[in-house]
Amino acid sequence: MSIKLLVVDDESSTLQVLKAVLEPLNCEVTALTDSGRAAQCIEEQKFDGIIVDVHMPTPNGFELTRRVRASALNKRAPIVLLTGMDDVRTMREGFEAGATCFLGKPVTRERIYNLVSALRGSILVEQRRHARLPYRTKVECAWGEHRERHVVAESLNIGEGGMSFRPPGGLEAGVEVALEFELPSAERPLHMRARVLPRQSAEFTAVEFVDSAVRDQEAIQTYILGRLQG
């Protein structure tokens, strides 16, 4: 599976170097010089990792990092800040914004290799968390202040981080729902809390699991790993 990366830098020469080195490492690179467009992109697409230059026109790298951490799709993705400055103040502000690590400029092939090697584990975890395997079962969905709204749906797929089902049932992005469904790896029905993700299709609803019981999370992990390894 290729690694899907978003790289943002207002210097096109830096983007060209990053693409030239990353793509042969099985990375699918979306390269943008416009940080405003990048801010839209993180709300529309899921990335396995994000590389952002610190010094850019509005939004700058710190602000864009904060927006990534606040996004529904990419808030857990590793974020690398590109900077030619290694002072304590810059690094502190970067980590406070949500950066995972820094990559110094000028960008070199060796530095990029070391970066990919250091982050590969985190990236693979993020990929697995968002992997979706086909799975059909009845899903009981309830929401509202007293769970007074209810719909019975059919799942389309499932992963460690969430699932999709249809019909959409009028659920709006950001709404929290209580889900109940069965899984072959569980002895009893699972009860998951989830948050509705921004709509990508009028035909189904995608949700992200949040704050569910450890036993239920482990049941899903067991099922996913069993399918991937089988």
Residue spans per domain, the chain: 3-130, 133-229
Beginning with the edge strand found earlier in the chain, give each strand of the sheet holding 49-53 in spatial order: 27-32, 3-8, 49-53, 79-83, 101-104
| CATH tag for 133-229 (out of 2.40.10.220, 2.40.50.100, 2.60.120.460, 3.30.1330.10) | 2.40.10.220
Both tokens of 65, joined, read 């990092």
Which secondary-structure segment (H or E) carries 109? helix 109-130
Q: Are 42 and 68 in contact (CB under 8 A)?
A: yes
| Confidence (pTM) | 0.64
At residue 130, what are phi and psi to the nearest 5 degrees? -100, 0
Q: Of the candidates 11, 25, 69, 73, which has an alpha carbon nearest to the alpha carbon of residue 48?
A: 73
Task: Give kind and range of the element (H or E) at residue 139.
Answer: strand 138-143
CATH architecture for the domain at 3-130: 3-Layer(aba) Sandwich (3.40)
How far is residue 56's CA from residue 53's CA, in Å, rounded to a whole number?
Answer: 7
Per-residue pLDDT 10s for the chain (230 aa) are 688 999 999 999 999 999 999 999 888 999 999 999 999 999 988 898 999 999 998 899 999 999 999 998 898 899 999 988 777 888 899 999 999 999 888 888 888 888 888 888 788 777 766 677 899 999 999 998 888 888 899 999 998 889 999 876 678 888 999 999 999 878 899 999 999 988 777 788 989 898 778 889 888 888 887 776 65
What is the C-alpha to C-alpha distance for residues 8 and 76, in angstroms, rounded to an integer?
18
